[in-house]
Structure 1
Amino acid sequence: MSPRRSYDQYCSAARALDLVGDRWTLLIVRELLAGPRRYTDLHADLPGVSTDVLASRLKDMEQGGLAVRRRLPPPGAASVYELTARGEQLLPVLQALGAWGEAELGERRPTDAVRAHWFALPLLRALEGEGLVEVSLEEGEFHLQVGAQEGPVYGDGPAPAEAGARLVMDAGTCEAVARGEVSLSDAVRHGRVTVTGEGTPAKLLRQA
């Protein structure tokens, strides 16, 4: 196997880019922040990536200590990829990058793919407190672990347990929050987001 390319610079930013600077790598991290994922699921939620590139990036992430591949026990009996503790430490990196990129979003283009859970990280930046939050959009449902220090920070579908907060909004409102055009608390105040539940995130939103 040929060695990975390196900038060969004694600089922490360059060393970091040696690991995550290739196209698609950070987006794979975004998907794995939801927890273990099968290769087919990753490919389905990364529209535009070829199977060869995805396989190559996952192999590089394993070699770099960012992800591991393991076999689920029966009856699952499928192989999944998941982030290591080192890989999970990229969450604030992705959050900072996402905040910086808000100004680049603009209106959704006809060619833009979208998945409901892609709004998870922008909403995590907007929520305070700790607890399980369920979000319902026209595109689907997902849930967030607000304040989580390790493990999956979001997931597809309804919350696996009783959520302390539930947010219901339309796609336009969620996109406006993701673009930084309106704060989540302002959207709640103006009736664009319905908040239910007695968890800390819900209470803080209603009090804002």
Structure 2
Amino acid sequence: MASPRPGRPVRGSTTGRPLMAALDLLGRRWTLRIIWELREGPVGARALLARCTGLSSSVLYQRLAELAEAGVIATGADGYLLTPLGAKLHGAIAPLDAWADEWAESRSAAD
């Protein structure tokens, strides 16, 4: 399956709207976790596999290829890293991380 791109139909949408393509890309198994693991700098494939318990090497390499094709990550001397566009994506995910922390606190208070 080709990497989602704005302007092309994606799973669940025939419009090709950029948001729909982004949701298709980010909704794939392990994609957000890989982006999260790259937030602090380059990481090699073996280290990514070690950090993502349960991730198979075949899925890892498929996701890395999709993210590279989408312009979100690149390969550097020290491993895979976020591109400037990928860093902006991480910035967009950071509020979700803050919300998840608040959600967790509210659920522990409710228990």
Shift of 1:17: 1.2
Separation in 2, partners of 1:19, 1:26: 9
Shift of 1:180: 6.3
Stretches of structure 1 lacking an aligned partner (at least 5 in a row): 73-78, 106-178, 182-208
Corresponding position: 1:30 with 2:30 = no
Shift of 1:33: 0.8
Partner residue, 2:97 = 98
Number of residue pairs aligned between Structure 1 and Structure 2 = 99
TM-score normalised over the length of structure 2: 0.75
Deviation per residue, 1:55-110 (Å, 9 max, x gap): 1100100110001113x2xxxxxx6111100000012322122233332x4xxxxx
Describe the SS at the equivalent of 1:90: helix
Partner residue, 1:46 = 52
The one-letter code matched in structure 2 to 1:66 is V
Identical pairs, percent:
31
> Which stretch has the larger CA shift, 54-63 or 7-16?
7-16
Stretches of structure 2 lacking an aligned partner (at least 5 in a row): 5-9
Partner residue, 1:81 = 80
Corresponding position: 1:64 with 2:70 = yes
Shift of 1:10: 4.3
Q: Is the 8 A contact 2:3 2:69 kept in 1?
A: no
Give the aligned CA root-mean-square deviation in angstroms: 2.1
The one-letter code matched in structure 1 to 2:33 is L
Match of 1:55 among 57, 61, 65: 61
Describe the SS at the equivalent of 1:81: strand
Partner residue, 2:7 = none
TM-score normalised over the length of structure 1: 0.43
Name the structure with the higher helix share.
2
Q: Is the 8 A contact 1:9 1:15 kept in 2?
A: no
Stretches (4+) displaced over 6 A? none
